[in-house]
Amino acid sequence: MVEDFGFSDFFMITPDLVWIAGTDGYLKKVNPAVCRKLGYTLEELLNKPVTAFIHPADIEKTLQNRFRLFQGDLLYNFCNRYISKTGDTIWLEWTSVFIADKEIVLGIAKDITDRKKIEHEVKDQYLKFKGLASHFKNRMEDDRKYFAGELHEELAQLLSVVNMDVSWLSSQVEGLPDTIVQRVEHASAVCKLMIKTIQRLAFFISPQMLDDFGLNVTMEWLCKEFSMLHGIECSFNHHYNDDDLTNEMKLDFYRICQEAFSDILNPAQAGKIVVSIKDIGSDIELSIHDSGDGFVTDPQSGELTGIKERAKSINGKIALQNKPGKGSMISLTVHKQAASVSV
């Protein structure tokens, strides 16, 4: 009869691991599934404390959760590892309750070892591809740095020599016609302009200032440069610990701000630009706020692809906001130190 089916029957036939433990840390009763899964006899399980079967790395967190259980908390979906008699590691997911008046803990667990293996395989694959992405990104930055160096050291210096030669020629010949003097002065002015342009391009391609002076000084320079080029007020402020960002993060913060200025900001419609980096608890946030309507804030916009991909490479999250009358903002949020995924 169905009504005769009770807890004892469930205890014996369920494939889940069920046990009853005392407050002394010893097991009082276990179902056959526990013996089958861990490979120990009933006597072996009852004659040792539970911690004797737990993976050493998980004992401390298990005891901490056991303490909270005694304080009245329900233990739900708690995962820890056990060592079977054959030495295999078994992952169990527990739901436990403390019955205070009887001073016992009733625990029911499912074997999630296969799931954990899959999760770790996924994590390993993720780390592998993340490593490859970081490698290619770093290689690109190295190439940019080399190209920027060539621009600055080679082309800019060659133009400086040309400018010096032009100036020397004009000083060596007296009584030149005004038209020729004007041409010489024009050539000299063009050389100086080209030198400045090359220097700006070299910085745009690879900001050596980031290595020499750090992120904050580089961001301040970038904002001032943007103001000078477009006649738009652009300021930078920061409230965070520089040590909370890796070098990769600092470079990506700079690149994302740079790409926002060049790819998704329309200077003709922009208002006042404020760039800020601030600590928001466990995260660091880079925000670029435009008081006007200069930002392209369509999430499907192709211009955002580069920014999104760069954010993903450091496990960052990109958010877009557009408030009528209050402008628009793009923000990047990343966890402090490193963007790692825990499984």
pLDDT digits 0-9 by tens, 32-86:
999 999 999 999 999 999 999 999 999 999 999 999 999 988 888 999 999 999 9
* Summary mean pLDDT of the chain: 82
Structure confidence at residue 342 (pLDDT): 35
Q: What SS3 class is residue 239?
A: strand
The answer for residues whose C-beta is within 8 angstroms of residue 342's C-beta and 6 or more apart is none
More confident: 307 or 176: 307
DSSP state of 304: G
- Residue 273 sits at φ, ψ, to 5 deg, of -105, 130
Decide which of 277 and 121 is more confident.
277
Q: Rounded to a whole number, what is the distance in angstroms from the first to the last CA of the chain? A: 45
Task: Judge contact between 148 and 55, C-beta under 8 A.
Answer: no
Average pLDDT over residues 78-105: 94
Beta bridge partners of 76: 95
Structural contact between residues 10 and 39, judged by C-beta atoms closer than 8 angstroms: no
Residue positions counted in the chain: 343
Residues 151-161 have a mean pLDDT of 69
If 0-12 CB within 10 Å is exposed, 13-18 middle and 19+ buried, where does residue 8 land? Answer: exposed
Note the pLDDT of residue 301.
Answer: 57
- Residue 168's pLDDT is 77
158 touches 205 (CB < 8 A): no
For range 267-289, the mean pLDDT: 89
Looking at per-residue pLDDT, the higher value among 328 and 47 belongs to: 47
Cα 244 to chain center, whole Å?
11
Q: What is the mean pLDDT of residues 162-178?
A: 75
- pLDDT tops 70 at residue 2: no
Q: What is the structure's pLDDT at 167?
A: 76
Only one residue has tokens 């030495």, namely 87
User: What is the mean predicted confidence (pLDDT) over 279-286?
Assistant: 92
Task: Name which of 129-143, 165-179, 204-218, 288-302 the model is least confident about.
Answer: 129-143
Helix locations, the chain, DSSP H: 7-13, 32-38, 42-46, 59-70, 113-150, 156-172, 178-205, 208-213, 215-230, 247-259, 305-313
Q: What is the pLDDT of residue 19?
A: 93
Indicate the pLDDT class of residue 149, thresholds 50, 70 and 90: low
pLDDT value, residue 339:
40
Whether 148 has a pLDDT exceeding 50, the answer reads yes
Burial class (CB in 10 A: 0-12, 13-18, 19+), 228: exposed
C-alpha pair distances (Å), 311 with each of 70, 252, 279, 318, 320 = 43, 8, 17, 7, 13
Structure confidence at residue 266 (pLDDT): 76
Closest of 243, 196, 242, 203 to residue 222, by C-alpha: 203
pLDDT at 117 over 50: yes
- Residues of the chain with pLDDT > 70, as a percent, come to 82
- The span from the CA of 45 to the CA of 81, in Å, is 16
Residue with tokens 């309750």: 97
Cβ pair 105, 20 in contact under 8 A: yes
Query: By C-alpha distance, which of 275, 142, 271, 146 is closest to 218?
Result: 275
